[in-house]
């Protein structure tokens, strides 16, 4: 007789951590042997000279627990974009897409024996994915504003002119560009700034000793 298919509960917020963990405990023993076979197959194909871009994609078994895990991850990503700083970003859909992609890539890395809180584990992964997306979008915005600046300067002053054209739109564009560019460059310089090491405190008799 066929075993009855287990029906998982409907996913609601907040995600039930115990059921989420149980889904991993049932799903990972099914998917890990398949992942191992897939890696061995890829090694054989690479030795034959097949490039990485043409390797077959790994197909996970579409089981009820896998669908439950997927629904939980979508719900976590959606609610995370409504928290604090993330709620004001204009590219929330891209952030959710990146977060889910990173979470699925790390699916088999979760160890139910070691970690008992999959909600926290994947929330952390998604948070880092959000920050990477924000950093990427800020860089694209900076490049775009630098391109617009050169274009505005071209139309504002031309060869043979004694001065600039008075244009309120050009003035507005320059102010907008300056804010974006200055903010990006300030953050960039802040990251590059080396951290100064604090001198060790001299305690007791050591402060009377002089090294020669």
151, 50: one domain: no
- Is the pLDDT at 202 greater than 50? The verdict is no
Report the phi/psi class of residue 169: left, alpha or beta, with left for phi > 0 and alpha for psi in -120 to 50: alpha
Proportion of the chain above pLDDT 90, given as a percent: 41
What tens digit of pLDDT does each residue of 99-118 get? 999 999 999 999 998 889 99
Spatial contact of 43 and 100, defined as CB atoms under 8 Å apart: no
If you average pLDDT over residues 132-154, what whole number do you get? Answer: 75
Whether the pLDDT of residue 23 is over 60: the answer is: yes
- pLDDT-based confidence at residue 211 (cuts at 50, 70, 90): very low
Q: Are residues 44 and 98 in the same domain?
A: yes
Taking alpha carbons only, the member of 30, 22, 128, 123 closest to residue 73 is: 123
pLDDT tens column, 56-113 = 988 888 899 999 999 999 999 999 999 888 888 888 999 999 999 999 999 999 999 8
Percentage, residues of the chain above pLDDT 70: 67
Is the same domain home to 24 and 77?
yes
The Cα–Cα gap between 31 and 135 comes to 33
Residue 131 exposed, middle or buried by CB count within 10 Å (0-12, 13-18, 19+): middle
- pLDDT reported for residue 193: 52
One domain for residues 34 and 102: yes
Q: What is the mean pLDDT of the chain?
A: 79
Domain enclosing residue 172, as ranges: 139-156+167-191
Residue 15 and residue 80 in contact, taking contact as beta carbons nearer than 8 Å: no
* Residue 171: predicted pLDDT: 59
Q: Span 156-168, mean pLDDT?
A: 53
DSSP 8-state assignment for residue 174:
H
Same domain, 89 and 172: no
User: What's the structural domain count of the chain?
Assistant: 2
Phi, psi (rounded to 5 degrees) for 91: -120, 55
* Pair 32, 91 in one domain: yes
Q: Is 61 helix (H, G, I), strand (E, B) or coil?
A: coil
Asked if the model's pLDDT at residue 206 lies above 50, the reply is: no
Q: Does one domain contain both 56 and 125? A: yes
Q: For residues 173 and 101, which has the higher predicted lDDT (pLDDT)?
A: 101
Place of tokens 């050009």: 170
Please state the pTM of the whole predicted model. Answer: 0.68
**pLDDT value of position 182:** 62
Token couple for 81: 């974009």
Do 92 and 184 share a domain, yes or no? no
Residues 174, 168: Cα–Cα separation, whole Å = 10
Structure tokens at 99: 């977060």
Q: Could you tell me the two tokens for 87? A: 């709620």
């Amino acid at each position: 007789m066929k075993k009855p298919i287990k029906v998982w509960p409907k996913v609601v917020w907040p995600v039930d951590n115990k059921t989420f963990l149980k889904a991993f405990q049932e799903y990972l023993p099914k998917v890990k042997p398949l992942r191992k076979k897939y890696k061995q197959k890829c090694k054989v194909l690479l030795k034959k000279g097949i490039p990485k871009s043409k390797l077959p994609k790994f197909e996970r078994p579409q089981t009820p627990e896998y669908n439950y895990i997927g629904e939980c991850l979508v719900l976590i990503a959606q609610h995370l974009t409504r928290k604090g700083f993330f709620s004001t970003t204009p590219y929330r859909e891209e952030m959710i897409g990146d977060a889910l992609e990173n979470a699925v890539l790390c699916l088999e890395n979760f160890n139910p024996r070691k970690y008992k809180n999959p909600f926290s584990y994947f929330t952390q992964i998604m948070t880092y994915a959000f920050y990477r997306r924000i950093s990427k979008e800020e860089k694209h915005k900076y490049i775009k504003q630098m391109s617009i600046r050169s274009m505005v300067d071209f139309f504002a002053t031309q060869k043979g002119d004694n001065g600039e054209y008075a244009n309120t739109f050009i003035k507005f564009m320059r102010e907008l560009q300056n804010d974006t560019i200055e903010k990006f460059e300030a953050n960039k310089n802040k990251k590059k700034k080396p951290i100064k090491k604090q001198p060790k405190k001299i305690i007791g008799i050591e402060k009377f000793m002089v090294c020669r």
